Amino acid sequence: MTMHNDANPGEIAERIVLVGDPNRAKHMAETYLQDAVLVNKTRCAYCYTGTYEGVRVSVMAVGMGGPSMLIYATELCRDYGCKILVRAGTSGGYLEEMRNFDIVLSQATSTTSGINDNMFNGHFSPVADFGLLCTADRIAKEMKLTTYVGGTICNDRLYRDETYKSKMWKQYGMLCSEQEGTAFYTAAAQFGCRALMMVGITTGIRYDENGNEMFVELPDRDPAHSMDDLVQLALKTAAHAE
């Protein structure tokens, strides 16, 4: 047990999928896990452990934002022995061709967050585990999902004014904007764990005539992708990673 998690040692699997919304964790457990057991409900950070395609896997809700992610990812790695962590989240996409619930596999994160400031004699660049990235890319192709692989930008602010130069992130190749990736990869790196973030694109990021960001709705693909496609990809990646 920790300050934020009532699970006992051994009740959380070494392979875990992290989501933001507790209702999403509940849905994943009830829909996809066999013999799922609720092992934590403190602060509504629901954590369930069961099996997925014959492999012991946990799913857990960790809330929104870098500090929340950093707390839970740290405790999962440090105190519960998690070794393979996959984040399944949502994001705003920069590319015009992106459609609703296209999936970005985050190869590395840039950030506006200060969580790693003063920790290093330089700038730490957290990255994905290459093996998990390759596994997810292969499985996504088998599932016929539309995916992009590359850099992502992790922002502390969701709503931003004209002083925020987000066009620069797009210009330098960032695929999308989200809020937890840097904390997630940082915790995994600290404790020698393997991590991969995958995010579904749920909105497009565009610009008005003054350069201010706008969030726009995206059309569906045919056939449409969904949140369930994303969470199944995350579960399969966690379960079948070597």
Between residues 8 and 199, the one the model is more confident about = 199
Q: Cα separation of 142 and 147, whole Å?
A: 12
Q: Cα separation of 127 and 185, whole Å?
A: 6
Classify strands 84-93 and 34-40 as parallel, antiparallel or unpaired: unpaired
**Average confidence score pLDDT of the chain:** 94
pLDDT tens-digit map of 121-148: 888 999 999 999 999 999 999 999 999 9
**pLDDT number for residue 191:** 97
pLDDT tens-digit map of 218-235: 999 999 999 999 999 999
Share of the chain above pLDDT 70, in %: 100
Domains and their CATH numbers in the chain: 15-240 (3.40.50.1580)
| Stretch among 16-20, 68-72, 113-117, 144-148 having the lowest mean pLDDT | 113-117
**pLDDT number for residue 20:** 95
**pLDDT number for residue 77:** 97
pLDDT tens-digit map of 78-101: 999 999 999 999 999 999 999 999
Q: Which amino acid is at 119?
A: M
Between residues 212 and 67, the one the model is more confident about = 67
**pLDDT number for residue 167:** 83
Closest CA to 195 of 73, 67, 78: 73
